[in-house]
Amino acid sequence: MSLTVKHLNGDTTFLLTFSPNDHSPHTSLASQYQQPPGTFSILVDPWLSGPTTMWHPKFLLSKHTTPSCIPHLSHIPEPNVVLISQEKPDHCHEATLRQLDPKSPVTTILAEPAAAKKIRGMKFFNPDMVHSLRPFSERKLDSVIRFFIPPIVPGGAPGEATISFIPAKLDMAKVHNAIGVTYRPPSSSCMLSRPFSPISQNSSSPVHQFQHPPAPQKLPMTPPESPTWQSSTLRLDSNTLSPPSTPSSHQSSSNHNLSISSKSSVTSTSRIHSEKALSFIYSPHGVNYSLIRAYASTHLVSVAALPLTLLLHSFDRVENPWYLGGNVAAGSPGGIEIAQNLMARCWISAHDEDKDNTGLSVMSVKTRKYTKEEVRAMLRQELGSNVDVTNLGPGAEMVLKA
């Protein structure tokens, strides 16, 4: 399996595609809305073009200094998930969000609560598409959002993607958080020649089934040092609170079925996993590792997602006066703590574009820039081992294999 990371702009818009195969899941133009079986794609904080303003242009006006690699979101396959990490316009950019299909049967928008409120206020998307991220808690099963990926062949084991939100506490700037994602592919002995085997019985098309709140599905419960483990399944069958679209409205292009569950039933099964999950943490402004620790020691361990596959985190440290929010981006000093504790295999720079920023809010900003060579040296000093550290220009991509 693999994770393909493509940087769409010079700042913090990424397309991340998980695949059960060890190569980038390229699709032809004719099938751009039909991703290969077993793949799961996430579009992060889309902002392609045009300025962003906060409150008033005289307070903050930002523009890209390098063009994005695509002019419109129609140039990429419809993502399964659009992740919005905060409500600020360089992360939650209305003009770019309006390039998405407002009634897409494929896409679910998961957003930080204030951003979700802002997106709903656009009154553009089907209400069933937009959901607020809940703060992660190891004591609350419904704080982890789970997408169940259908088996590729009849009788095969389904895959699973999970998404968790870890916000900072007492964050005056309201920008510091982390989003953790894991992926386990559906199993198949002939995955290149067979299509999805749908979970939903009322549709003949491929689906991803999203349940929120869920109970654990295929959740491993053995110690982290065990390379092969046995799990019990606690399945949540749903009463759909919002009626699913009819098959005729989606036709054959649908590969996502959204349902919100409220009624639970328990089914116990046993399953042996021989490979670990892929994982990434997206934290463009950074967050203290002490807030990530519980997520790592419970969820990441339980789904065998350590070492961390990828860290998306800023290199540059940005500071404002305390009355304007104080620290804006933790930069390399904060990212090193996360990379060290989660044994990250790769760290890609996020949110480090030299944007054209004007306005009162940037007059007192102080930025300490770090090159990837400096970050590598700092990591070697802390970890005594090599972490793949890089920054991707617009249009560049990297494939990380399991």
| pLDDT, position 36 | 86
**Nearest-angstrom CA–CA distance, 264 and 324:** 46
| pLDDT, position 328 | 84
Write the CATH number for 359.
Answer: 3.60.15.10
Asked if residue 200 is part of any domain, the answer here is no
Task: For 136-166, write each residue's pLDDT tens digit.
Answer: 999 998 899 999 999 888 888 999 999 999 9
Which of the pair, 56 or 128, is modelled with greater confidence? 128
**Nearest-angstrom CA–CA distance, 184 and 224:** 16
Which of the pair, 15 or 170, is modelled with greater confidence? 15
Asked if residue 71 is part of any domain, the answer here is yes
Range with lowest mean pLDDT among 94-103, 322-331, 372-381: 322-331
| pLDDT, position 99 | 98
Q: Check if the beta carbon of residue 7 is closer than 8 Å to that of residue 45.
A: no
Asked if residue 218 is part of any domain, the answer here is yes
Residue 22 C-beta-side C-alpha neighbours within 13 Å: 2
Contacts of 105 (CB under 8 A, 6+ apart): 245, 249, 250, 253, 254, 255, 256, 257
Look at the chain and count its residues.
Answer: 402
Q: Return phi, psi of residue 273, to 5°.
A: -110, 135
Q: Check if the beta carbon of residue 63 is closer than 8 Å to that of residue 356.
A: yes
Strand ranges in 8-103 using DSSP code E only, listed in sequence order: 14-19, 40-44, 52-53, 61-63, 81-84
Residue located via tokens 């089914």: 267
Asked if residue 198 is part of any domain, the answer here is no
**Nearest-angstrom CA–CA distance, 112 and 129:** 14
Q: Check if the beta carbon of residue 320 is closer than 8 Å to that of residue 294.
A: no
> What domain range includes position 115?
2-189+206-223+231-241+253-401
**Nearest-angstrom CA–CA distance, 36 and 130:** 25
Which of the pair, 247 or 198, is modelled with greater confidence? 247
Asked if residue 69 is part of any domain, the answer here is yes
Whether a cis peptide bond, with omega within 30° of 0, leads into 167 is: no
Asked if residue 201 is part of any domain, the answer here is no
Q: Closest Cα to residue 339, out of 372, 388, 294?
A: 388
The pLDDT > 90 percentage for the chain reads 53
Q: How many CB atoms sit inside 10 A of residue 114's CB?
A: 15
Task: Return the bridge partners of 192, or none.
Answer: none
**Nearest-angstrom CA–CA distance, 233 and 216:** 7
Asked if residue 317 is part of any domain, the answer here is yes
What is the domain count for the chain?
1
In Å, how far are 35, 92, 169, 228, 231 from 402, measured between CA atoms? 20, 31, 33, 15, 21
Looking at the predicted structure, is the pLDDT value of residue 304 above 60? yes
Asked if residue 246 is part of any domain, the answer here is no
Average pLDDT over the chain, rounded to an integer = 77
Q: Tell me the DSSP string of 157-185.
A: PPEEEEEEEEEPSS-SSS--EEEEEEEEP
**Nearest-angstrom CA–CA distance, 381 and 147:** 38
**Nearest-angstrom CA–CA distance, 120 and 131:** 9
Task: Return the bridge partners of 2, or none.
Answer: 19, 401
Residue 231: strand, helix, or coil? strand
